Amino acid sequence: MQVERSHVGATRYVLQELFQDRYTGRMARRRRLAPPIVGDWPRGAEYFLERATERFAPGRIILHEARWSSHFQSAAGKLLPFAPPVQARIAPNNDLLETYHGIFRGLQPSCRTLRVADEFVFADPEHRWSKEPFHYIPGYYTAFLSV
């Protein structure tokens, strides 16, 4: 089962609408892991949650605790590690995601969390958007929808 483009488009539209007034131009041309960006994230999460809780009951908000995979699954089903330059980016990005998840849970303690089992957290080298540690095998998306 695949997540349809309409879901991705709808999510992108909602996030763009919620953050556009506040962050137009501020985030442009900054590096993703630069300290000012990490510092801005809690304010952005607060802003997002203020708007989201105007539309949805707090208990209906779900945090998808995704993380980057260190391995990809070949067409033959064999698990292979990413190349060293990619491996070097995985731990810092997973640490950053854990920080973001913790901030989000602290701001919205009543949110439910969804985390796909480790047995499905593998990258798909044939993913339509590219072979990246955060583009998962089809089984990940199936597991996500069944959690």
For residues 37 and 143, the model is more confident at: 143
* Mean of per-residue pLDDT scores for the chain: 81
Domain boundaries, the chain: 5-146
Quickly state the pLDDT bin for 30 (edges 50, 70, 90).
very low
The tens digit of pLDDT for each residue in 76-87 reads 989 999 999 999
- Side chain identity at 16, as an amino acid letter? Q
Average pLDDT for 115-129:
91
Using DSSP, state whether 117 is helix, strand or coil. Answer: coil
| pLDDT at residue 124 greater than cutoff 80 | yes
Instruction: Name the DSSP class of 135.
Output: S
For residues 43 and 9, the model is more confident at: 43
3-state secondary structure labels for all residues of 51-105: HHHHHCCHHHCEEECCCCCCEEECCCCCEEECCHHHHHHHHHHHHHHHHHHHHHH
**Could you give the count of Cα atoms lying within 13 Å of 138 in the half-sphere of its Cβ?**
8
Q: At what angle do helices 5-23 and 35-55 cross, to 10 degrees?
A: 110
Distance CA 65, CA 84 (A): 25
> What is the reported pTM?
0.70
Contacts of 49 (CB under 8 A, 6+ apart): 61, 104, 107, 108
Q: What is the pLDDT of residue 147?
A: 79
Average pLDDT for 113-124:
92
Average pLDDT for 95-102:
93
How far, in Å, are 2, 19, 41, 134 from residue 147 at the CA level? 15, 28, 27, 19
Q: Is 64 exposed, middle or buried (0-12, 13-18, 19+ CB in 10 A)?
A: exposed
| pLDDT at residue 22 greater than cutoff 90 | no
